[in-house]
């Protein structure tokens, strides 16, 4: 990939945006957001075909649905830096009268958001509906989703996973952020998920694993591979292994930063590990 450096710079800036957003309001979810910086960057800077003019119906373009809405800081940063709204608006994250609500919503009309999410487990069903609408509209574009691994504990996901395979929703690429952590601790401690690959395959999905979910090149390769598997009668699942808190040494490999913001000193330390690239807002 000729512009890997540019993409890596983008990722680093996104990490700064995440940290600065949650620090300013002393709330929000930095851990999962940091872990998914490469995934969002790959989607919006490389893989997805979308229109710069946001239209809710999204006909003739790829769509993305974030099911685990609490990682809104990474979503907002990437949307802003992809041109959906002014980057300066990241300053309003979680503040009163802001379009950047704690969890993403259509309610305040923020461009780039097509469904509210936050209460977990609902995004896959919505994405399937959008994918069905695309089929009815003879629109060959793809619907992408992201889910937490812990989020798969919500039963509605399995209704949707069953439906998507049973109805050959093959214009859908659902990525699971396998970071092995959730609020109360390691996923294996809270409620072991077992073999996710075998589970999705048993339900009839085409599954690919990307073990290096914090390597932008590997993430793009994985998404492109997934894209090549669409249109073949099966929904496609990417099990994307990431590190929660990636890019900030003291936040990595722990659930402790799932929903906690850094203090001033911690922010300084974290930002020093992610030097400014595209310019802070």
Partner 1 sequence: MKKYTNTGNKDTRSGFGAGLTELGKTKKNVVALCADLTGSLKMDDFKKNHPERFFQIGIAEANMIGIAAGMTIGGKIPFTGTFANFSTGRVYDQIRQSVAYSNKNVKICASHAGVTLGEDGATHQILEDIGLMKMLPGMTVINTCDYNQTKAATLAIAEFEGPVYLRFGRPKVANFTPENGKFEIGKAVNLTEGTDVTIIATGHLVWEALQAAEQLNEKGISAEVINIHTIKPLDKEAILASVKKTGCVVTAEEHNFLGGLGESVSRTLVENFPAPQEFVATKDTFGESGTPEQLMEKYGLNAEAIVKASEKVLKRK
Applying CB under 8 A, the residues found at the interface with partner 1 are 56-59, 63, 65, 105-107, 114-119, 122-134, 136-137, 139, 155-156, 159-160, 162-163, 166
Kindly state the smallest distance separating residue 271's Cβ from partner 1, in Å: 34
Nearer to partner 1, 67 or 182 (CB): 67
Minimum separation from the CB atom of position 265 to partner 1 (A)? 37
CB of 34 to partner 1, least distance (A): 25
Q: How far is the CB of 104 from partner 1 (least distance, A)?
A: 10
Residue among 129 and 185 whose Cβ is closer to partner 1: 129
**Closest to partner 1 by CB, 156 or 277:** 156
Specify the residue, 132 or 221, whose C-beta has the smaller distance to partner 1.
132
Q: At its nearest, how many Å lie between partner 1 and the CB of residue 105?
A: 6
Question: Closer CB to partner 1, residue 162 or residue 202?
Answer: 162
Residue with tokens 């039963």: 155
């Amino acid at each position: 990939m000729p512009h890997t450096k540019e993409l890596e710079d983008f990722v680093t800036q996104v990490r700064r945006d995440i940290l600065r957003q949650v620090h300013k309001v002393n709330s929000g979810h930095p851990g999962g957001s940091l872990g998914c910086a490469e995934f969002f960057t790959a989607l919006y800077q490389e893989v997805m075909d979308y229109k710069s003019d946001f239209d809710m119906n999204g006909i003739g373009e790829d769509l993305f649905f974030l099911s685990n809405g609490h990682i809104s800081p990474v979503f907002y940063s990437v949307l802003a830096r992809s041109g959906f709204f002014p980057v300066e608006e990241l300053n309003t994250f979680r503040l009163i009268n802001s379009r950047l609500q704690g969890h993403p919503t259509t309610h305040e009309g923020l461009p780039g958001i097509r469904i509210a999410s936050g209460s977990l487990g609902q995004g896959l069903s919505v994405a399937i509906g959008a994918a069905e609408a695309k089929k009815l509209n003879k629109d060959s574009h793809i619907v992408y989703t992201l889910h937490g691994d812990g989020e798969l504990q919500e039963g509605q996901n399995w209704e949707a996973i069953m439906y998507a395979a049973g109805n050959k929703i093959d214009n859908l690429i659902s990525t699971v952020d396998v970071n092995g952590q959730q609020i109360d601790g390691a996923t294996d401690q809270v409620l072991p998920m077992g073999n996710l690959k075998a589970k999705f395959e048993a339900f009839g999905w085409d599954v690919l694993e990307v073990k290096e979910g914090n390597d932008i090149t590997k993430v793009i390769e994985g998404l492109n591979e997934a894209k090549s598997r669409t249109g073949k009668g099966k929904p496609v699942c990417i099990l994307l292994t990431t590190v929660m808190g990636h890019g900030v040494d003291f936040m990595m490999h722990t659930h402790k930063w799932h929903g906690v913001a850094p203090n001033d000193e911690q922010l300084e330390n974290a930002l020093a590990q992610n030097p400014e690239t595209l310019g802070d807002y």
